Amino acid sequence: MPKTSKTVATETGQKKPLSGPDRFWDFVKQMGIALILALCIKTSIVEAYKIPSGSMEDTLLVGDFLLANKFLYGSRLPIPFVDLRLPDIRDPRPGDVVIFKYPLDPSVNYIKRCIAVGGQTVEIRNKKVYVDGELVFLPAHGKYQTPLDQPFAPHGSELGSRDNMPAVRVPANSLFVMGDNRDRSSDSRFWGFVPRKNVLGKAMIVHWSWRDDDRSPETTWRRPLSYLQSIGYNVVHFPQRVRWNRLLRPIT
């Protein structure tokens, strides 16, 4: 049987084989379309993030990989140098776990829980959070690191507003956010409000979770074999390092 190749229709309705350069450019075009679609999805619909710190424990753990819905809050279109956004379905609400650009360094992404939105008043009394005078309960998997029977840090102490904070009104188009690990979180209590325009998306689901292991070999470019050692170690200990019970867990 003669060897076949990809063909295109000619003006006469017949087909002729694509030449080498034509096949190459056809491949380039297909890859370009795929990359553009991937970029649009990543920028405008869903994006993956990794949790690097324990500020959201035990809702999110170090090594969790999550997917965020960027479409819900009106995602930015992938057009360079132009800040155009799709219409939002709704604004962030108290209780949402949101990803946003850190106001003091927009190159860094943070993830926290929205406690209050523009126009609401937030106050903290002996670790308890009140919004518009109503007590906001600690999330189901939230926690305090220090026992509640220890003295609380007063406002203005070296811990700033961690345990006690006078009532503040959230400005319009802004959020007040806190970590679920209330005693180990850098959040709005310390550096202020999050502008609405900094919000990137709402955390949806943990799609992968990788447990830290202090025994895992360190890698360095000075010892190329260290990368092979690390891969081998992770392959052997793969079943123990994956947090199987967290896979595909909704984030609430």
3-state SS assignment for residue 68 = strand
Q: Where residue 178 sits, what CATH number does that domain have?
A: 2.10.109.10
* Residue 116 located in a structural domain: yes
197 given a catalytic annotation: no
What range defines the domain where residue 198 resides? 46-208
C-alpha to C-alpha distance for 52 and 54, rounded to whole angstroms: 7
Please give the single-letter amino acid code of residue 237: H
Report pLDDT for 32.
57
* Residue 216 located in a structural domain: no
* Residue 236 located in a structural domain: no
* Residue 37 located in a structural domain: no
* Residue 174 located in a structural domain: yes
Report pLDDT for 7.
36
Options 44, 55, 75, 209, the catalytic residue: 55
Our separate counts of H helices and E strands in the chain read: 4, 14
Report pLDDT for 143.
96
* Residue 155 located in a structural domain: yes
The owner of tokens 């424990």 is 57
Report pLDDT for 26.
59
| pTM, entire model | 0.79
Per-residue pLDDT of the chain (252 residues; tens, 9 = 90+): 444 444 333 344 455 555 566 666 655 556 655 555 444 444 445 678 899 999 999 999 999 999 999 888 987 665 566 666 677 889 999 999 999 999 999 999 999 999 999 999 999 999 999 999 999 999 999 999 988 878 899 988 888 899 999 999 999 999 999 999 999 999 999 999 999 999 999 999 999 999 988 888 888 888 888 889 889 998 999 999 999 999 999 999
Options 112, 174, 188, 202, the catalytic residue: 112
* CA-closest candidate to residue 251, choices 203, 211, 208: 203
3-state SS assignment for residue 122 = strand
112 given a catalytic annotation: yes
- 223 pairs with which residues across the strands? 220
* Residue 15 located in a structural domain: no
Report pLDDT for 218.
87
Report pLDDT for 131.
98
Report pLDDT for 207.
92
* Residue 108 located in a structural domain: yes
C-alpha to C-alpha distance for 141 and 60, rounded to whole angstroms: 9
* Longest Cα–Cα distance in the chain: 88
CB-CB contact of 129 with 168 (8 Å)? no
Report pLDDT for 149.
79
- The per-residue b/e assignment along 81-112, b for 16 or more CB within 10 angstroms, e otherwise, is eeeeeeeeeebbeeebbbbbbebeeeeebbbb
The total domain count for the chain is 1
Phi, psi torsion values for 226, nearest 5 degrees: -65, -30
